[in-house]
Amino acid sequence: MEKDYREKSLQYWEGVHEEQDYDRASIRVDDWLEPFDEIIMGAEQPILDLGCGGGNDTLYLLKKGKKVVACDQSERAIRRMRKNFPEITETKCFNMLDGLAFPEDSFEVVIADLSLHYFTEKDTAFIISELQRILIPGGHLLLRVNSVNDVNHGAGQGKEVEPHLYESEAGTLKRFFNESDIRKFFKEYKIDYLKEETMSRYKLEKKLFCVCVRF
Ligand SMILES: C[S@@+](CC[C@H](N)C(=O)[O-])C[C@H]1O[C@@H](n2cnc3c(N)ncnc32)[C@H](O)[C@@H]1O
């Protein structure tokens, strides 16, 4: 990815996380991970929350009694995670564009909730190859990404720099997926679940794809 997009993304997310200095009691959990309960409960190793942001999914996992490793590019997000979740196994601050900072076969389950739709096709493919490296064979990736129908959150708006990838006014990139985009990105792996859903965590409803991939 061009250096400029990378810097703009970091600036943007540091700004968002600075504005939102909430405590644990105000974190909202939604139930999108429920269909994958068996996968989550079966994991013996800590689960990776990739692009953890405010920790909505970390909170869900901790409530289920799971161990969690949380990471994000934003130092502010990571600081808030340590404050709100002192029991967390590990936190790491790194940029996914530099690869995923873990040894191979580190995780049985990785959760990437709204964190894999900010990249060019080349970078997305690289991050997926890194996911394959850090997941055990047969490990699962549970993810949600923007849908092409997510008109309330920018679908089809801004300059299209690649098919379905838009540059926002803030100079950041945002991808909107359709079903065949998802099947193409994960063509080497087994898609066990793929469904367009509506999320109500934000003020305006959001259309996204919920996906479970077995590596
Ligand atoms: C929409 S938020 C989602 C946060 C959380 N997973 C959730 O669902 O509430 C996206 C997060 O991905 C992180 N992120 C975006 N690009 C990243 C990158 N290149 N490397 C690491 N984290 C990144 C952002 O800093 C932000 O915290």
pLDDT tens track for 58-79? 999 999 999 999 999 999 999 9
Spatial neighbors of 159 by CB under 8 A, at least 6 apart, are 166, 167
Please indicate, yes or no, if residue 156 is contained in any of the structural domains.
yes
- Structural domain of 172: 3-18+40-214
Please indicate, yes or no, if residue 34 is contained in any of the structural domains.
no
CA of 53 to the centre of ligand 1 (A): 5
Please tell me if the CB atom of residue 58 comes closer than 6 angstroms to any atom of ligand 1: no
> In terms of pTM, does the model score above 0.85?
yes
CA of 119 to the centre of ligand 1 (A): 12
Closest atom, ligand 1, to C-alpha of 118: 16
Which domain CATH number covers 199?
3.40.50.150
Please indicate, yes or no, if residue 210 is contained in any of the structural domains.
yes
Please indicate, yes or no, if residue 70 is contained in any of the structural domains.
yes
Residues of the chain with pLDDT under 50: none
CA of 114 to the centre of ligand 1 (A): 7
Closest atom, ligand 1, to C-alpha of 13: 25
Task: State the total domains in the chain.
Answer: 1
Instruction: State the pLDDT at residue 148.
Output: 97
Return the residue whose CA atom lies nearest to atom 1 of ligand 1.
114
CA of 81 to the centre of ligand 1 (A): 13
Instruction: State the pLDDT at residue 89.
Output: 96
Instruction: State the pLDDT at residue 199.
Output: 93
Q: Is the distance from CB of 133 to CB of 188 less than 8 angstroms?
A: no
Instruction: State the pLDDT at residue 62.
Output: 97
Please indicate, yes or no, if residue 62 is contained in any of the structural domains.
yes
Instruction: State the pLDDT at residue 169.
Output: 85
- Residue 105 has φ and ψ, to the nearest 5°, of 55, 40
Q: List the beta bridge partners of residue 194.
A: 211
Please tell me if the CB atom of residue 115 comes closer than 6 angstroms to any atom of ligand 1: yes
Please indicate, yes or no, if residue 29 is contained in any of the structural domains.
no
Instruction: Specify whether the backbone of 158 is left (phi greater than 0), alpha (psi in -120 to 50) or beta.
Output: left
49 vs 136: CA distance, rounded Å: 16
Spatial neighbors of 72 by CB under 8 A, at least 6 apart, are 13, 51, 52, 53, 78, 81, 93
Please indicate, yes or no, if residue 35 is contained in any of the structural domains.
no
Please tell me if the CB atom of residue 97 comes closer than 6 angstroms to any atom of ligand 1: yes
